[in-house]
Structure 1
């Protein structure tokens, strides 16, 4: 019976008492923080700190901080088992590297998002400009501005004003009368030269008749 009780007590002993092969009762201060279910983790931790140091750390911690202290001890033991060189430092460095990588990726994504927004705004302005040009062309139709003519010299414009009402006909004959005629009734260019008689046959002393039309 005594042997069975010892085996049962050993199975339910805390990880610290089980490692020390001593009886664990309700007065054990380590039992709430290192239960028997975490015996393998306690083994990893005691290889680094030692049982006596673990007990000292737990005794120095405030009652409300002992659970956190126990978790830190067990975590350090597990980390050292997985990475004997760096331990928790390796985990911290790995997490920092992940954070930095994610921050760089976030920065790149923000830049890409800004470029997409700028491109969208530029495309919108281009489309709006095309629509305005199309509407302007449709409203104007074929109304093109009149060509700008060069300025004529003052003497030319003054001469043109003289003949705004019609065209005059001058003759070199002394008895020619000045007449106003309509240019629509004649050819665009008219030059007429008549020679009548000669110096011997003409009795009036007028040997030549020349009629010329000038129009601007």
Structure 2
């Protein structure tokens, strides 16, 4: 009997090529389709046994968030074995720094009245500010 309503083994059991028993810790979180690829990454990075032990120690209401986090971190580690998800965090932080510098530059080069008018009429933020800045020059 499958742990996920008779539709075959869960993604984890499918990947591990084992029978999905009732009460399988992975069944609610790794569906037979996309869950197989996500579990493959989790298994490669953390190991099935470690992931199972971790999930068993977490309260049931927090497990979905834990599985999302495990999957995200595992997929990031597979893509970037050195930095994992930290590489993505660094890239996002650099993007914030670049956008803040660009905003400061635009604010310094636009008259205050133009800046407030551009912001008032814009729902697109910095993209619209760039257009306003170009039209002012």
TM-score normalized with structure 2 length: 0.70
Greater Cα radius of gyration, structure 1 or 2: 1
Aligned residue among 52, 57, 73 for 2:54: 57
Q: CA RMSD in A?
A: 2.5
Structure whose residues are more often helix by fraction: 2
Structure 2, unmatched stretches of 5+, are 115-137
SS at match of 2:111: helix
Report how far residue 19 of structure 1 moved: 2.9
Q: Which has the higher contact order (CA 8 A, sep 6+)?
A: 2
Residue 21, structure 1, aligned to residue 17, structure 2: yes
8 A contact 1:45–1:74 mirrored in 2: yes
Runs of 4 or more consecutive aligned structure 1 residues displaced over 4 Å after TM superposition: none
Aligned-residue offset at 1:10: 9.9
- When the two structures are aligned, how many residues end up with a matched partner? 111
Instruction: State the match for 2:90 in structure 1.
Output: 93
What SS class does the counterpart of residue 27 from structure 1 fall into? coil
Which consecutive residues of structure 1, in runs of 5 or more, have no partner in the other structure? 118-216
Please, what TM-score do these two structures have when normalized by structure 1? 0.46
Does the 8 A contact of 2:25 with 2:56 survive in 1?
no
Task: From 41, 44, 48, give the equivalent of 1:44.
Answer: 41
State the alpha-carbon separation in 2 of the partners of residues 115 and 25 from structure 1: 66
